[in-house]
Chains A and B, each alone.
Chain A
Amino acid sequence: MNEALILALKISGIGIAGVFLFMTLFYFVIIGIDKLFPPENKMKQTSGQSGDSYEDEFH
């Protein structure tokens, strides 16, 4: 196996684990702040607005 391939496999392993770690962390952030700051009187209802507002893409 060439050196670049071995490096790519190593980086892929760590990279996939890393991105799952980050997303799991953000999952707990969402759970945490949602519990810490429950909806007040002036709330934002998630229903129905998102799908309508995403009209254009700028990537």
Chain B
Amino acid sequence: MEFSDLMPAIAGMTWKHLVMIGVGFTLIFLAIKKQYEPTLLLPMGFGAVLANIPYSAVLTHEGSIIKGALDVFFDAGIATEVFPLLIFIAIGAMIDFSPLFQRPILLLFGAAAQFGIFITMVLATLVGFGIEEAASIGIIGAADGPTSIIVANQLAPRLLGPISVAAYSYMALVPIIQPPVIKLLTSRKERLMRMRSDANKRVSRTTLIMFPILVTVLAGLISPDSTPLIGFLMFGNLIRECGVLNSLSKTAQNELANLVTILLGITIASTMTADRFVQWDTILILGLGIFAFVFDTAGGVLFAKLMNIFLPEDKKVNPMVGACGISAFPMSARVIHGMGLKEDPHNYLLMPAISTNVGGQIGSVIVGGLILLLVPLFM
């Protein structure tokens, strides 16, 4: 009997497996010690360790009779897109769209701050990726995990692991990525700009019920590919706002979100195997992901500056608020609010920042749907 028969895992261990186990440990460390997106990074980190023990039975191997548990989860939840869509129900149930009704114009920043997605897509083609892969890499800039997973799963399944890791890691790094970009693009005078408060504006319940329904129907009619993304998000929001499903709303916000998050994180890790992850492409994807976030932030800030040229004095927008048009919610709004307070302890930007950030949530799923529509159309 040979050593490899007795201890196949130890005998089969390569440097690539060790690298991936190290990546797993790093994600666990970041989740626990730095609290970077712990709900996702911890399951992903542990899953990466599980998936990279050679011959680990959590994955299906050639000749094995029983399917690995992570592969079963993947086929059931990621390949079918069920997990990310269930997460959308949970997110929808958590979002209060009413701040958006205070200043609906801020919704436009949810479009401007998607700029980085497209710039990154162009950059990705310049470094040699095909259009489907480039679009999937660009969508990291949506700062929206489920959208990134759905787009990557449909257009570039082989890149699903690194794209998911980049999307979730950079979302956690918003407080580090956004402030320097904003400072670079704005003057102190602009950062001190105060915004007129519409905090007392009231919204009827009927309005809040009609909004998710109308948005779903309109988005579905114009871009049917966006229906699952926007539809599940708005379904969750309808459960929240209808007023007769409080129990379901709470379940969606808590139990459903927690259960699916556990499964989503650990299942994504099944794609983080050494042979797929330890590649030059992964480093490129991680680098391009940062570009996406930087250009998203720049897009939002510059669009605010452009709008201010045309807006009357009392309606001008603090350019920092434009950066909240990304979907990292509510982290981006908190970062901008904090930056505003740092410049002027009496400048409260939280409400316009939240309104813009909510717009970013809608913008990211719309872009996801558009990319799923446009890329196959041009292929």
Contact = CB atoms under 8 A, between A and B. Distances in A.
Interface of A: 2, 4-5, 7-12, 14-16, 18-20, 22-27, 29-31, 33-34, 36-40, 42-51, 53-54, 56-59
Contacts of A25: 218, 222
A15 B72 CA distance: 35
Contact of B125 (A4, A14, A24): A4
Interface string B3-26: 000000000000000000000000
Interface residues of B, number: 83
Contacts of B333: 51, 54
Name B's interface SS: helix
A5 B199 CA distance: 45
A5 B261 contact: no
Given A7-B131, A39-B202, A59-B87, 14 more contacts: A5-B126, A7-B378, A11-B375, A15-B367, A15-B371, A16-B115, A27-B105, A29-B211, A44-B98, A44-B202, A46-B99, A59-B40, A59-B168, A59-B171
B314 to A, nearest CB: 19
4 closest residue pairs by CB, A with B? A12-B118, A54-B330, A37-B206, A59-B145
A19 to B, nearest CB: 4
Nearest to A45: B202
Contacts, number: 191
13 contacts: A2-B125, A8-B124, A22-B223, A26-B218, A30-B101, A34-B104, A34-B207, A37-B210, A46-B199, A46-B202, A50-B98, A57-B37, A59-B167
Contacts of A54: 94, 96, 329-330, 333, 354
Contacts of B119: 12
Contact of B121 (A12, A27, A34): A12
Contacts of A2: 125
B304 to A, nearest CB: 14
B121 A48 contact: no
Contacts of B354: 50-51, 54
A12 to B, nearest CB: 4
B327 interface: yes
A31 B171 CA distance: 31
A23 B363 CA distance: 7
A52 to B, nearest CB: 10
Contacts of B337: 51
B274 interface: no
Nearest to B118: A12
Contact of B111 (A22, A33, A48): A22
B205 A5 contact: no
Given A39-B202, A59-B168, A22 B91 contact: no
A30 B90 contact: no
Given A31-B104, A46-B202, A59 B374 contact: no
A27 B375 CA distance: 26
A47 B200 contact: yes
A16 B370 CA distance: 9
Nearest to B198: A46
